[in-house]
Structure 1
């Protein structure tokens, strides 16, 4: 519509599965369960196909297809804005979910915190002021352009297969008062061990210095589910909580007899009274499901929301760019550990920045990977971190569906790295307008300097003759 409302959209997704299926079916399903993102489009249809190719198969990674699928959706929003000649943020805001809402697969949720994240990010990032400053900068500079974008994300937490949402834990209390916790989560740098220590500390009312974590082993906790779907802390935290509550309840008669005693004295007395100081904990998890025949279900326990505003400065002659500033607002309920969670947000954003702007895979015709090693495959480095990088956690947020009213944060914010991609595209659009080019244009991800430079369509690039295949030959530049 002329006011920017999108009344209908039809998407076709094609997943490169490589030579084996691996996790590609689940990846395709997750793409379709998220492709509405933050937008309430009345008539929405999506179809996902898995393609067998001559490339090696790779297992799914952080985001499980969502970062790839949502890039297509957000690019559609940008194209709508270009066709209408309106700012992209207005199109996003016009189509955003509001109040009590329903997903295309009939899952009811509240979009209140999504809108709060959006408004708070615009406020914290001074979006309106910086948007005018970007326009002024672009008018005053011919070969350097700035771009700015603001991107939302709505990410479902938990496994759509209900049996995967269970977890178990084993907690031992020793005679000296020390506690050993074993749980089914895999520590991969996301801080799950730290959070399990905090859960045990809170339930047993003792300092974390007395609590030790045993490395994950099926000898202690069998039949563990994957540490995935951003559900590791939610599930294992509840299992540890259950075990600690059992132990604390066993010590209650001793605490009542000696209320002024220390933790160590209670434990020693319990041992002398032949009270078991070991307990298992179990969390059944929500019974989630998705009926693909009826195209409805409840595949997620809740949604984590986030909004990111990024600004970049682009050199139109080389395609090189620099992230000037990034502001992120995330709704993660009542965080168990804000320091760990902010680190997760920052790390996921940088990982997304690499995915969308740096990490280009190049294969031979036979499927051999050329880009191997740091000399050919570029990952984000310290110099790629935005010059100003601010992360804010949404205040006064509650989540009754997870431990201590927290929310999963492992995967959702990786997609926010696409805000840098769209900021680059905004800068490229400003460069193209200087050459008299308006309207939608293609810019493939990752937006490498070569692609950004060619997309700018400067007078110099236009002098480059095309090859027989229609691609540019930068080495044939003749000025």
Structure 2
């Protein structure tokens, strides 16, 4: 038996998100083609590989996917492949890293650049069947005779380009396929909240998805912790860990079960990969609804059974104020923040 008022909640969510949408829709809204990617692949004389592409790594594992694609396409160990930061000095005319399409587009660009390298190495491989990667690369930088002519070597720094393929959608008649494929998934979260201390815990999480990687842990933190709060003068109050609760290891569910669907191939992407951005981010909303159900159970004990407002993210303050009791009733307006600012450098908030 719990000595403190603890309530439990379960949240379930299913998502079906369309990816690689038709470029004409983007062009009509923004006036230019945004869903495209370029990549530059360098192969050095020692056999090492350097990748440069136009996507931005934000913790979603994009660089890792690029390295894996190049490693498989070139047939080299993954430790021989490196990446550099995104820069217009190497790859110009960058597109936005958004809409869960950057991984697919840049993977395809890198794959095409690597295919160019392998095509250029084909003659060298035929001349040396027993050779290894380093032998073929070294030979590519040396003059050799080809059909009685002296060749001065080959270029091993090609570029690759990719853009979202046409889905066949007719915007005039509004017929056809708007997306190239769909990503599906489901998640179920079990949570428990302490109505007195406003703390929460996630004992279990079950996720089933069509992709090889899910960013559920990062998305859960987005649904529970960060919330920007401002003073009436527009001064940002939540400027660091001392002003708001940052995600921690304890936010990860104690039992974290992830299942990947078998046979969910995707011939329209590299190695049957699928988007890893928005789909798992949307699934994390189920933990928010689980907390809302727990708060609803606490409110029912106070005789409140109707609908109530509970905004995301589910911060500790919102959980405590949602569990209405004799203590929260002493607060006149739970959504208001009274601020005392002596200066822009000395600003505090009080409930």
Write the mapping of 1:284-299 to structure 2, written as runs, cut at 5 A: 284-287=163-166
Please say if residues 161 and 289 of structure 1, whose CA atoms lie closer than 8 Å, have aligned partners that are also in contact: no
Q: May I ask how many residue pairs the two structures share in their alignment?
A: 320
Tell me, what secondary structure is at the counterpart of 1:278? Answer: coil
Match of 2:26 among 148, 161, 164: 161
Does residue 378 of the first structure (1) align with residue 245 of the second (2)?
yes
Unpaired runs of 5+ residues, structure 1, are 1-136, 336-340, 474-479
The residue aligned with 1:146 is 8
| Structure with more helix by fraction | 1
CA distance in 2, matches of 1:472, 1:173: 59
Tell me if the contact between 1:168 and 1:236 (Cα under 8 Å) persists in the aligned partners: yes
User: What does residue range 110-189 of structure 1 map to in structure 2 within 5 Å?
Assistant: 143-158=5-20, 161=26, 163-189=33-59
- Which of 209, 229, 240 is the equivalent residue of 1:330? 209
The residue matched to 1:248 in structure 2 has which SS? helix
1:310 paired to 2:181: no
What's the RMSD between the two structures over aligned residues?
3.1
Alignment partners' CA distance in 2, 1:210 and 1:315: 50
**Structure 2 residue 138 is matched with structure 1 residue 268:** yes
Among 57, 64, 74, the residue aligned to 1:204: 74
Alignment of 1:347 onto 2:218: yes
User: How far off its partner does 1:205 sit?
Assistant: 1.5
| CA distance in structure 2 between the aligned counterparts of 1:470 and 1:167, rounded to whole angstroms | 47
- Cα displacement (A) at 1:307: 1.6
1:146-198 deviation digits (Å, cap 9, x = unpaired) = 11111122233346526222111222223332222222222233332222222
When residues 182 and 453 of structure 1 are mapped into structure 2, their CA distance, relative to the original with a 3 A threshold, is closer
Residue deviations 1:317-356 (CA, integer Å, cap 9, x gap): 3433222222222212xx3xxxxx24x33223333332xx
Gapped regions of structure 2 (runs ≥ 5)? 28-32, 145-152, 338-351
Greater Cα shift, 443-452 or 202-211: 443-452
Whole-angstrom distance in 1 between the partners of 2:221 and 2:130: 50
Name the stretch that deviates more: 191-200 or 240-249.
191-200
Task: Describe the shift of the 1:210–1:446 C-alpha distance in structure 2 as closer, same or farther (beyond 3 A).
Answer: closer
Q: Is the Cα–Cα contact under 8 Å of residues 352 and 418 in structure 1 kept in the other structure?
A: yes
Deviates further, 262-271 or 296-305:
296-305
Q: TM-score normalized by structure 2?
A: 0.79
Higher Rg of the two aligned structures: 2
**Residue 443 of structure 1: SS of its match in structure 2?**
coil
Answer whether contact 1:329 1:393 (CA < 8 A) is retained. yes
SS in 2 for 1:164: coil
Which of 80, 86, 107 is residue 216 of structure 1 equivalent to?
86
TM-score, normalised by the number of residues in structure 1: 0.59
User: 1:430 pairs with 268, 273, 297, which one?
Assistant: 297
